[in-house]
Amino acid sequence: MILKNFNKSDVKVTQLGFGAWGIGKSEWIGADDKESKKILRKAIEEGINFFDTALAYGEGHSEQLVGEAEKESGKQVFIASKIPSKKREWPADDNSTLEESFPDDYIISSVEKSLRNLKRDYIDLMQFHVWNDKWAEQDEWKNTIEKLRDEGKVKFWGISVNDHQPENGIEAGKSGLIDSYQVIFNIFEQKPLEKLYPFCCENNISFIARVPFDEGALTGNINPDTSFPDGDFRNYYFGGERKKEVQQRAAKIKHEVQHEAETLPEAALRFIISFEGVTTVIPGMRKEKHLITNIASVLKGPLSAEMIEKLKLHRWDKYFY
């Protein structure tokens, strides 16, 4: 497993990480705890050491599973979690204040909850699960995260950038207190390359790529007849005529990459790791076969520079949320 430095530290994290939203059993329907624990332990056995979860994923359920799997494995991994806005809004409303969304006592109590869920004394990376850069100049959040860092409860701090708003967080990064950004970045969603990615590279801030398969659109498995369980957020995400357009666009990409990648998911992952400034990519994985194929894909390394330029033309500025 390829290792990369996290932020400016000597801490090493795997280029392929594990996204643990789906195992929280909140918006993703069908996860089984026994199977989730099995795949988490398998991921650790295979050498993956970066696990991304959140307090909001099943109200701590995902954190609990990740923490249990770490203990059962007997190995120490790098765990990233997130603090949801106190208002529980994604993205943050432009009128929301820092005092309403992330007051000092709420940040502290949320960290304590995550520590209990994970059964740990510290969290490697804690992220704001939503952000509005108009809060960047305020001192309250800065003082609070420095306090928690000084107490040893959180090693690194980051921002999980609002969906399709990759620039909404750069001002906070200028404070020097932000160690990482987590952002949607894939063949369709390439907007981070405009400003956020260069900012991270210039300032040696870790870049965590989430949603590499665009919630399944870049697996090639979505078609007009695809159905999802009741309550699954993908019923909305792929609503209307979206499935048909997704199928058409995915087919074009699959044809484009056929001489460099065996499958569309492989191409999707290798596209992301072709950018040197990407620290880790965190696909959600709920089945062992997906874990194994994702590992194999990443180990093949970057796509050719020529292919990357071709895939840049498949950028799709959409907003499905």
Number of domains making up the chain: 1
List pLDDT tens digits, range 213-240.
998 899 999 999 898 887 777 888 888 8
Q: What is this structure's pTM?
A: 0.95
Split the chain (321 residues) into runs of 10 and give each run's mean pLDDT: 94 97 71 90 97 95 97 97 95 92 98 98 98 97 98 98 92 98 97 98 98 93 87 82 92 97 97 98 92 97 98 89 63
The answer to whether position 318 is within a domain reads: no
| Domain carrying residue 286 | 3-312
Q: Does residue 113 lie within any of the structural domains?
A: yes
Residue 225 sits in a domain whose CATH number is 3.20.20.100
In a domain, 317, yes or no: no
Go through 80-94 and write b for each residue having 16 or more CB atoms within 10 A of its CB, e for each that does not: bbbbbbbeeeebbee
Is residue 73 a part of any domain in this protein? yes
Beta bridge partners of 12: 5
| In a domain? residue 321 | no
Cis peptide leading into 91, omega within 30 of 0? yes
Residue 320 lies in a domain: no
What pLDDT was estimated at residue 186?
97
